[in-house]
Amino acid sequence: MADLLERILGKADDLPVLPHIAMEILTLIDSENSIPADFQSIIENDQVLTLKILKLANSAYYGYPREIISVKEAIVILGLDTLKSLVLSLLTRQMLSKGLDTYGLKRGELWEHSITVAMIARSIAKLMRLGNVEKFFVAGLLHDTGKLLLDIYLLDNVEKLKAQVNEGGLDFSEAEIMLLGFDHAFIGSKLIEQWNLPSFLENVVRYHHSIGKSPDSYKKDAYIIDVSDRLSYTIARGSGTDYKVNKTVSPAEYGKLGLTVADIEATLETIKTSLQSMKF
């Protein structure tokens, strides 16, 4: 299995590059000691990113009555949390917009799914009054990055994979394990480790389809991503040809997070409205 894992991770060079600035932003988000000036300094060093942020900050979506002309002003007006999410969304969009033939995902559908999971996860973390809610946004954004690598590797075995799904009654994650010995969540965690990203992201991504195997310290966090993943299918695209994927969340599962059906319904309605104003 080690040789196979090494061969698959070797395909990382074929992926769209996650910009170095994204790594810096992710590290800052994980740090409890980061301050707004840290983010401002990194963003202002990238002229293209600065222009994109100011363009979005001045869009109708945010509805600010006067023109925002600097990154510092954007942080004050939009809030640092909003700016973090906005920056990461911009930086990861190219990588996550790739069409994945193995999974039946058209160009842009993985991105739509990922941003939806990210928004739901952050909202749930806020409702639960967890500390650093932006970590959950990032985890949602990156939870399916393993599919990017497996799409490249499994292209020659796509019929075997689909047979396991269509005839064997498995979902894609189970079919991946049957064929390879591990799934896209495991590969995603290894990719995150390769990128030297925080251990929180590595563990939450790794166990979001296998909560029972998660270390206790990350079990609740991985469960939030699992629930957000399933909820996302009710308001956005992203399952592709994975017809067996579990898309239901029961009221009892909300209860495990200390939430009610009303909490979730209100959250999804707000996010659905936000998604409609975004271009995929």
Q: Percentage of the chain with pLDDT > 90?
A: 35
Q: Which of 140, 143, 147 is nearest to 105 (CA)?
A: 147
Q: Which of 126, 162, 137, 156 is nearest to 257 (CA)?
A: 126
The two structure tokens encoding residue 72: 């510092």
Strand partners, 105: 100
Mean pLDDT, the chain, rounded, equals 85
The two structure tokens encoding residue 118: 């990210």
N-term to C-term CA, the chain: 37
Give the CA count within 13 Å in the CB-facing half-sphere of 275. Answer: 23
Q: Is the pLDDT of residue 209 over 60?
A: yes
Tell which CATH architecture fits domain 1-12+100-280. Answer: Orthogonal Bundle (1.10)
Alpha-carbon gap, residue 143 to 199, rounded angstroms: 13
**Beta-carbon contacts of residue 170 (< 8 Å; ≥ 6 apart):** 164, 178, 244
Average pLDDT over residues 9-24: 74
Highest average pLDDT, of 150-164, 183-197, 242-256, comes from: 183-197
Q: Is the pLDDT of residue 215 over 90?
A: yes
Average pLDDT over residues 49-64: 78
Q: Is the pLDDT of residue 213 over 90?
A: yes
54 band by pLDDT with thresholds 50, 70 and 90: confident
What pLDDT score was predicted for residue 18?
65
Domain boundaries for CATH 1.10.3210.10 within the chain = 1-12+100-280
The two structure tokens encoding residue 222: 């991985």
Q: How many Cβ atoms are within 10 Å of 206's Cβ, its own excluded?
A: 26
Q: Which of 221, 209, 213 is nearest to 183 (CA)?
A: 209
What pLDDT score was predicted for residue 242?
65
Give the CA count within 13 Å in the CB-facing half-sphere of 276. Answer: 7
Helices (H), 79-198: 80-96, 109-127, 134-142, 146-154, 158-166, 172-180, 184-194
The two structure tokens encoding residue 25: 């932003």
Helices (H), 155-233: 158-166, 172-180, 184-194, 199-207, 216-232
pLDDT higher for 30 or 224? 224
Q: Give the gyration radius of the chain's Cα atoms.
A: 19
Strand partners, 100: 105
Q: What are phi and psi of 12, to 5 degrees?
A: -60, -30
